[in-house]
A and B are shown apart, each in its own frame.
Chain A
């Protein structure tokens, strides 16, 4: 397993994924703001949340990169297209499992079970993140293809 590569390229790939997401967000393709969504897990201040969320996202990306490195070691090869395929699997899990489950653990995200004591809450992303814009799944796929391809390109299988 390429531990050194994982340590460095995991961060690099996550940063690239985040940059792609933010670029599409700024261009108006999606309202999914991953740093805000993740950072508001720990703070209600949106500006601080974006900072915290960026680092949470880096950490999460590193954890996922571990899985990629393990698969490459298991297969005995690491190529950009295997990385891209893993990226597709990754984004499918993110859009269909992680995002829809977020309201269950997120203290500042709206849930259908919330009562009148609730004050302000982020709109939940919904299935495939569609609540944050109809192009959100496409943007997420593009970002994860970049992430997976980079890891496939940069990691070694050993």
Chain B
């Protein structure tokens, strides 16, 4: 089989069933699908492992001109349309997300090729492999093609009785009015469940109806509603249904620096991301999703309380030891490919702040924490009150020595402040209250003494450092400073100015300050945090312009990774990224609350908005090179 070059990340669409997810390239190739869950081994791993790692392509036999690629409105069904001789060929595909209570495969992917206007010559390349060594399956052909690797089995049924051989490319002619439907089912430690391909599309239509109904519950007054909806739907697809855990991204080792070593495994759940997700869902009336996230957090952290791990598996277990897959070439030659994540053992003070803030948001929305939840929150708060003076790894999980990160201290302050807020309606001893209040005030004084640069009127990245940190853009949501505080406004302007990667992008900290070789891109959540900060400090017009400008750099399907190359606009890092989409939703909520922005767009594709920011962008090396 001929090797394909690495498509741009923006060319990939996401399919998901809330247990695992697939990435589909613009030529119809499923190049990434792990089984049986997000953090399992890949059965299609060409994205990182090259052609020997497996793919499942369905599309035109010869490279066709792509006409359109889109998600069907408010659903998770992806459509790609190619021009063919005298007509079009459409690939529509989805994973069925809801199987509770029905005899269906836990993972079910359905793909349909349909010709319009004239018969279309198509090709199906089915080459499943499994795990680190790209193991070939044990194959048998029954009513369906069955591929087995011990406990894991996969079946492929194709309508019309068409047969597909693993490892080969099958040529087919798709006649107008006679679509070809392919049904891929996975089973892990249980029998396969077969779906008749002739009737399988009904399941996708039912799935679409469920997504549309879910989306219809999102309020109409949210600005940039279509982009927000796509982000929420993406967050839903990245939530592991059996536990409610949000996975940070469905991929590992997509590089922050193509060709470099900044390749990390994000197929785990970060309590920080979960908490940001709570705020995003709560802000749009999706209390059920928010409560699921919190329930997972409480369950997952149970064994290690009051310590809050930086990340966990989706079932609340320990994240595997970090190791590299030696023979994997990586995306665009970016080795090593890593599985597991060493950041799991870091002390990150900010995580407690995010979690307490999430609980506080639930309380503000009228939910009452049960005694177990409140006990867990008290434990987290006690830990913060005790350990806040210690250095930590910070939100960016830098693997060098721990430091006194200002953002972490602010989040520690936030943890105590929010806990005291919850205590207004929940039982708390006077002694504990005094201890928390004392610690909160001490943190505030410490930050203002050691973490503020009076000369530049900005908070800094860490005590005694001149560097800035884009994470400080969350200041307006914390209440640590009032919205009209000169310190807050000075910090927002300084971060925007000094960490700009060229409008509308920001670096998370000065590039090259993390002890690793190579470069990295601009950090997309920071742009949304900036939009949020601007909106919350009364600069709504600038916020809306910035927000729109960032949206203009989404993938054609409205998806974002974690970073972007500010010079080329190429998406970088694991994809799609839950944190970016959660930050997008939060920024939109801030814009809505600012009451100055009308809903302005109706499609997920938003043209870049050209505006002149009040702070001039800093010229980047890429700008100079260009």
Interface residues of A (CB under 8 A from B): 25-26, 28-29, 31-33, 36-37, 40, 44-49, 108, 110, 112, 114, 116-123, 125, 131-135
Contact with A along B135-162 (1 / 0, CB 8 A): 0001010111010101101010000000
Minimal beta-carbon separation of A36 from chain B (angstroms) = 6
B106's nearest neighbour on chain A, judged by CB, is: A46
- Are A32 and B150 touching (Cβ within 8 A)? no
Q: Which residue from A47, A112, A122, A125 sits with its C-beta under 8 Å from B193?
A: A122
- Are A120 and B187 touching (Cβ within 8 A)? no
A108's nearest neighbour on chain B, judged by CB, is: B103
Q: Which residue from B150, B189, B194, B198 sits with its C-beta under 8 Å from A123?
A: B194
Is B86 part of the contact surface with A, judged by Cβ < 8 Å?
Answer: no
- Are B198 and A31 touching (Cβ within 8 A)? no
Residues in A with CB closer than 8 Å to B100 are 47
Residues in A with CB closer than 8 Å to B194 are 110, 120-123
From known contacts A28-B189, A45-B102, A46-B103, infer whether A131 and B195 are also in contact, taking CB-CB under 8 Å.
no
- Are A133 and B151 touching (Cβ within 8 A)? yes
Contact with A along B164-181 (1 / 0, CB 8 A): 000000000000000000
Minimal beta-carbon separation of A27 from chain B (angstroms) = 8
Give chain B interface residues in 22-70, CB to chain A under 8 Å.
none
Q: How far is the CA of A21 from the CA of B149 in the complex (A)?
A: 19
Number of interface residues, chain B, beta carbon within 8 A: 29
> How would you classify the secondary structure of chain B's contact residues: helix, strand, loop or mixed?
loop
A44's nearest neighbour on chain B, judged by CB, is: B103
From known contacts A45-B101, A47-B101, A120-B195, infer whether A28 and B190 are also in contact, taking CB-CB under 8 Å.
no
- Are A131 and B146 touching (Cβ within 8 A)? yes
Given contacts A31-B190, A46-B102, A132-B191, 15 further A-B contacts (CB under 8 A): A26-B189, A28-B189, A31-B187, A33-B189, A33-B190, A45-B101, A118-B199, A120-B104, A120-B193, A120-B195, A121-B193, A122-B191, A123-B142, A125-B191, A134-B148
Residues in B with CB closer than 8 Å to A110 are 143, 194
Is B196 part of the contact surface with A, judged by Cβ < 8 Å?
Answer: yes
Q: How far is the CA of A123 from the CA of B187 in the complex (A)?
A: 10
Contact with A along B529-550 (1 / 0, CB 8 A): 0000000000000000000000
A24's nearest neighbour on chain B, judged by CB, is: B189
Give chain B interface residues in 247-296, CB to chain A under 8 Å.
none
Q: How far is the CA of A47 from the CA of B143 in the complex (A)?
A: 26
- Are A123 and B193 touching (Cβ within 8 A)? yes
Is B332 part of the contact surface with A, judged by Cβ < 8 Å?
Answer: no
Is B192 part of the contact surface with A, judged by Cβ < 8 Å?
Answer: yes
A50's nearest neighbour on chain B, judged by CB, is: B190
Q: List 10 A-B contacts (CB under 8 A).
A: A25-B190, A47-B100, A112-B143, A119-B195, A120-B194, A120-B196, A121-B103, A123-B187, A131-B142, A132-B191
- Interface hub of A28, A37, A110 (most chain B Cβ within 10 A): A110
Q: Which 6 A-B pairs have the closest CB atoms?
A: A28-B151, A123-B192, A44-B103, A116-B198, A45-B101, A33-B190
- Are B189 and A119 touching (Cβ within 8 A)? no
Q: How far is the CA of A119 from the CA of B143 in the complex (A)?
A: 14
Residues in A with CB closer than 8 Å to B195 are 119-120
Minimal beta-carbon separation of B180 from chain A (angstroms) = 15
